[in-house]
Amino acid sequence: MKPFSSMTMKFANIWFVLVVILLCGKKHFGTRLGNSSHEAHICSGCSRLTLKVEFTSTVVEHEYIVAFNGYFTAKARSKFISSALKSSDIENWRIVPRNNPASDYPSDFEVIQINEKQKDGVLTLEGHPNIKRVTPQRKVFRSLKYSESDPVLHCNETRWTQKWQSSRPLRRASLSLGSGFWHATGRHSSRRLLRAIPRQVAQTLQADVLWQMGYTGAGVRVAVFDTGLSEKHPHFKNVKERTNWTNERTLDDGLGHGTFVAGVIASMRECQGFAPNAELHIFRVFTNNQVSYTSWFLDAFNYAILKKIDVLNLSIGGPDFMDHPFVDK
């Protein structure tokens, strides 16, 4: 990996906390990712600013991901599955069509739909020499909520908490558009949080030192797996490709989260990103309601590998560690 890429990833671990502290001054900032929560209280006598990012996932009924031991054509994959199911009681099954940029290339998985009454015979597939694993298709929900609450702790007191739960209530995306975090404007999404800071966040974290040394991200391919990006967004001049992996017919960002992340990485105007000359490859893997599927990610991962992506930013967490195909990839 190129020098700027590794330095950028180190910066990325701390940029978000510093951004909000700089923006909010004497306010509380808390984050929540997946099944864990983190709260930092900066002062007393002030309101608390909280961003919650939560993830839940559910199994898609009747759908299974068949992972192979290598990359095969669609015809070969279908043949392997048919051969494996001949000795089982499964008759009503079909391969779920996947129409995306990865469809033109060999793949290492297939999605099949099987009648619920016959699902017990699905393990028969794993007896085929070219089939590695069969797992349920999963649907992923990402929820964002930005809010303020009353003060609790004394000045400079910081509390870190981590909670683990077996399940969480399903919640659709919730954003307070007046909070100044990120919001959609229709034509493109703006990053008001970054613009509200007196100094650019990349320079605040001394990325300009690397720029002076010649490390600006030039020649580095960076993939952003998120909610997309507007084609004519004025802050980006080096977007090499935008691809859609969802069931929505758009490449644009209707939420703003993908635009915000892309801006932190490679914005070339106003709030300059860490690697302004990096090549951006936009992968739209979340819908505007922040829904995704394991198969969407797997196809997008394969395409990123094919395109020889150097750095991949993946804004997801929580229950994904239980999803074998996702973790394997």
Question: Any idea which architecture 58-139 has in CATH?
Answer: 2-Layer Sandwich (3.30)
Is the domain 3-57+140-328 a CATH 3.40.50 member?
Answer: yes
Note the pLDDT of residue 217: 95
Note the pLDDT of residue 255: 87
What tens-digit pLDDT sequence spans the chain (329 residues)?
Answer: 444 444 444 444 444 433 333 333 333 322 323 333 333 333 334 344 455 778 888 999 999 999 999 999 999 999 999 999 987 878 889 999 999 999 999 999 999 999 767 666 788 899 999 999 999 999 999 887 766 554 443 322 323 232 333 333 333 333 332 233 344 444 444 444 444 444 567 878 889 899 999 999 999 999 999 999 999 899 898 999 999 999 999 999 998 889 989 999 999 877 789 999 999 999 999 999 999 999 999 999 999 999 999 999 998 877 667 788 998 88
Note the pLDDT of residue 200: 67
Cα–Cα distance for residue pair 252/183, rounded to 1 Å = 13
CB 225 within 8 A of CB 314: yes
Every domain of the chain with CATH number 3.30.70.250 lies at: 58-139
Closest CA to 53 of 162, 180, 141: 141
Distance between start and end Cα atoms, the chain: 19
* CB proximity list for 106: less than 8 A, separation 6 or greater: 71, 72, 73
Every domain of the chain with CATH number 3.40.50 lies at: 3-57+140-328
Q: Which two three-digit tokens encode residue 148?
A: 């303020």
Note the pLDDT of residue 50: 59
DSSP class of residue 211 equals H
Q: Which residue has the tokens 């490859």?
A: 281
Closest CA to 275 of 315, 218, 226: 218
CB 55 within 8 A of CB 317: yes
